[in-house]
Structure formats: C-alpha cells, structure tokens
C-alpha cells in the first residue's frame, strides 16, 4: 500500500468536532411508552395511515436485514435519500469550499460534478480512454495535496461498462483520499461488487441504490458502504430523519422480495439482449456499445434528429450526443418487451434527413 490514508486528515476539521443535532428518537430508542417528546400529533394522520411518528433516524431494522444480503456489517451501512444524498454528504464532509478538489472521470454520472459545483469545490477532469476505461497514470498524476475524492462509476453511466479491477485497485493503493466506487448498476453485471474489499481499503466507499434493480426509484433510498468511522461521520451530518417512514416501510417489505428483484433483473437482461439484436439490424444505428447495465449507449447516424423524432412519437430516451466521447449517442434504458418493440417499430419508420431532402 502506497498511500497514507488517514480519515482525520481527509475530513474538514470542523466536521470532526461537530456536535450533531440530537433528535428525540436519538435520546429514547424504545418502542413502548407514551411519546410526548417529539411534538408529534397524538391522534394519527390525516391520511388514515400511521405516519404521525418520526421514523428511526438510523434505520436499524433495515440495516439488520440488509447486512446479510450485502454481506457487510450494519455499522458499515449508511442509507440516504437516494444515493445522491451520500454523494452530497461525502463532498460536504471532506471538501472545504473554494479550496479542496475532487477528480471525476468523464464521461460519467453528472451528480459528482454538480455536487462539487454546489459546494464550490474544484473539479479536475481526467477523461476515460477511448474504450471507456480508466487512465490510471493520468488519474494519479492529477492528484494534488488538496484532492479529497476520486469518483469512479462502475458500471459507468452513460457508457455502461465496468471499470477494470486493476485500475481501481491501483488508485485505492496510491491515493490517500477517498475512492468512491458508484455501483448503481451492479445488479446487471456478473462482476463482483467492491463491497468485499472494504476491510482491506479504509479509503474505499461503495455506493449502491434501490432505484434500479429493486425497482424502488420512487421511494428514494440509496446505500453507502464504508468504514464504520466514515459511516459515523455521515450519520452525524445527515438531516436527522432522512429516510421517511413510508420509505422505510416499503423497503422492509421490499427486502423480502429478493426473488422478485432477481426475476426482474433476469427479464431486463433478456430484454437487453433482444433489444441489442433488434437495434443491430437497423441501418441508422452506427454502434451499440457493450454494456453491463440496464441501458444501451447507441450511436446513430443522426442522433439529434432521431431524438427529436422519438419525442414526437412520445418515446423518451436520453440525448448524450454532445457528451465527451459519446458524440452521436443516445442512451436507451431497457424497457419491457412491448416497450422495446414499439421503440424498434418507430425507429424503423424514421426518415433520415438526407432522404427527406
């Protein structure tokens, strides 16, 4: 190991000494009693549901259930309002505005840059290679004494590919800040998660989400796995009740549905193959990038015109045609069999501009 990682040096000094807000549910954690401590409504909720009580701030029951599923101890789990919340909290915990820096590897998920920009944190961009892999040497060369986080997305959005294991390992071993591996799409690949390496690398942070494979984007719950010390810091700086009661209830139920999740993933993977095959047969398609996610990055002859045409057909895909290294590409989420077939039928009817003219 060539790094000298020390969490206390990575955190902003005032975060280390910060006294967190102590909520009513922090001070008394029992379930039985007459609760006159949190200024709640004792009669119930306007909806008829029992939403009148504040939820568990640390989601202990969920973490107990999630721990064996992810094979990680509960004290290494943080749950956020989507994985966008830990992205924001990690930035805030480590980066002093106007001073510290993060490294991102474009083309990649946009929130790392947005979060840094919101907090006036400087961003160093190190492009992926032409085959969307990490240029390890360039990344390590871009590190400065003020660099706090390197953001790695694997499988990467919007390119869909997994980043090489050796590249991530080299960065973990040679960078003394946090290396965040965002695995939002991990359920769609056969590659193992980096969660299994948390013990070995105290500077490793892994993000996952319930928004994709689990089909729970609407309840907004993301997962962050890291050292117990870092998890304690995230708990200290998060809004006290960041996961709502209905979200916690839905999640507790959802965690019983692993088989359903696995079945949906299998269906999505099957549809991914079918959609790839159908797209390949279209003359307007130039290239379909290999994917380990639930979407395809597809290069078209006339991406912008195809995008506008699909919108007129009320089929909405994501225009990535002006994104670095994705020129001419649209990102297409794998839909149901029926949705994919409607998409393909529409694309078959697309009239290329040069033909209309």
Q: Which of 88, 182, 187, 319 binds ligand PLP (CB under 6 A)?
A: 182
d(CA 175, CA 148): 9
Number of Cβ within a 10 Å radius of residue 324: 12
Nearest distance in Å: CB 2, ligand PLP: 28
Q: Does 84 bind ligand PLP (CB under 6 A)?
A: yes
| Under rule CB under 6 A, residue 157 binds ligand PLP | yes
Least distance between ligand PLP and beta carbon 160 (Å): 11
Q: Are 158 and 323 in contact (CB under 8 A)?
A: yes
Residues 117 and 104: their CA atoms lie apart, in Å, by 12
Count of residues touching ligand PLP (by CB under 6 A): 12
Which residue is closest to ligand PLP by CB?
82
Residue 83 as a binder of ligand PLP (CB under 6 A): the answer is yes
Dihedral pair phi/psi, residue 79, rounded to 5°: -110, 135
Looking at beta carbons only, is 147 or 157 nearer to ligand PLP?
157
Residue span binding ligand PLP (CB under 6 A) among the ranges 29-37, 82-90, 165-173, 251-259: 82-90
Binding of ligand PLP by 209 (CB under 6 A): yes
In the complex, least distance from residue 159 CB atom to ligand PLP, rounded to whole angstroms: 11
Which residues lie across from 124 on neighbouring strands? 103
Segment interacting with ligand PLP (CB under 6 A) among 22-30, 51-59, 81-89, 242-250: 81-89
d(CA 244, CA 56): 9
Considering the rule CB under 6 A, would residue 217 count as an interface residue with ligand PLP? yes
**Cα–Cα distance measured from residue 143 to residue 163, given in angstroms and rounded to the nearest whole number:** 19
Question: Which residue do the tokens 């998060």 mark?
Answer: 238
Q: CB of residue 198 vs ligand PLP: minimum separation in angstroms?
A: 18
| Binder of ligand PLP out of 59, 91, 193, 211 (CB under 6 A) | 211
Q: Alpha-carbon distance 350 to 336, whole Å?
A: 21
Least distance between ligand PLP and beta carbon 221 (Å): 7
Nearer to ligand PLP, 84 or 100 (CB): 84
- Cβ proximity to ligand PLP, 222 vs 254, nearer residue: 222
Compute the least distance from the CB of residue 87 to ligand PLP, in Å: 7
Q: Give min distance, CB of 82 to ligand PLP, in A.
A: 3
3-state secondary structure of 208: strand
- The region of 77-85, 98-106, 160-168, 237-245 touching ligand PLP under the rule CB under 6 A is 77-85
Q: From the list 116, 126, 149, 153, which residue makes contact with ligand PLP (rule: CB under 6 A)?
A: 153
CB closer to ligand PLP, 192 vs 218: 218
Other beta carbons within 10 Å of 260: 12
CB of 345 to ligand PLP, least distance (A): 27
Question: In the chain, where do the E strands start and end?
Answer: 77-80, 101-104, 122-125, 147-153, 178-182, 204-209, 222-225, 285-288, 295-300, 318-319, 329-333
Token pair of 210 as six digits:
């319930």
The answer to whether the CB of 78 falls within 8 A of the CB of 226 is yes
Does residue 25 contact residue 54 with C-beta atoms inside 8 Å?
Answer: yes
Rg (CA), the chain: 22
Q: Does 109 bind ligand PLP (CB under 6 A)?
A: yes
Q: Which of 132, 131, 101 is nearest to 117 (CA)?
A: 101
Structure tokens that stand for 134 in this block: 């990490």
- Residues lying near ligand PLP in the complex (CB under 6 A) are found at 82-84, 109, 153, 157, 182, 184, 209, 211, 217, 222
């Amino acid at each position: 190991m060539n790094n000298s990682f020390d969490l206390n040096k990575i955190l902003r000094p005032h975060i280390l000494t910060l006294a967190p807000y102590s909520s009513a549910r922090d001070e008394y954690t029992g379930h039985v009693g007459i609760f006159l401590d949190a200024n709640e409504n004792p009669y119930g909720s306007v909806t008829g549901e029992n939403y009148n009580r504040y939820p568990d701030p640390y989601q202990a029951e969920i973490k107990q259930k999630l721990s064996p599923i992810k094979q990680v101890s509960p004290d290494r789990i943080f749950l956020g309002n989507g994985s966008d919340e830990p992205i924001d909290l990690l930035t805030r915990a480590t980066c002093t505005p106007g001073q510290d820096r993060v490294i991102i590897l474009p083309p990649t998920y946009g929130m790392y840059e947005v979060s840094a920009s919101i907090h006036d944190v400087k961003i160093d961009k190190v492009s992926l290679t032409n085959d969307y892999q990490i240029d390890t040497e360039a990344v390590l060369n871009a590190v400065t004494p003020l660099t706090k986080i390197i953001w790695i997305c694997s499988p990467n959005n919007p390119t869909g590919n997994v980043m090489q294991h050796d590249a991530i390992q080299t960065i973990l071993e040679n960078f003394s800040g946090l290396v965040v591996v965002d695995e939002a799409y991990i359920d769609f690949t056969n590659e193992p998660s980096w969660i299994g390496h948390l013990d070995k690398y105290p500077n490793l942070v892994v993000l996952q989400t319930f928004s994709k494979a689990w089909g729970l984007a609407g309840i907004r719950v993301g997962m962050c796995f890291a050292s117990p010390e870092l998890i304690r810091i995230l708990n200290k700086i998060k809004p006290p009740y960041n996961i709502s009661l209905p979200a916690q209830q839905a999640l507790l139920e959802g965690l019983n549905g692993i088989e359903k999740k696995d079945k949906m993933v299998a269906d999505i993977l099957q549809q991914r193959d079918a959609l790839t095959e159908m797209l390949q047969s279209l003359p307007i398609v130039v290239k379909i990038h290999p994917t380990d996610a639930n979407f395809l990055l597809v290069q078209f002859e006339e991406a912008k015109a195809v995008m506008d045409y699909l919108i007129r057909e009320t089929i909405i895909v994501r225009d990535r045609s002006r994104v670095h290294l994705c020129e001419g590409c649209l990102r297409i989420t794998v839909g149901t069999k029926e949705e994919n077939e409607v998409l393909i039928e529409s694309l078959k009817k697309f009239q290329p501009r040069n033909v209309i003219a």
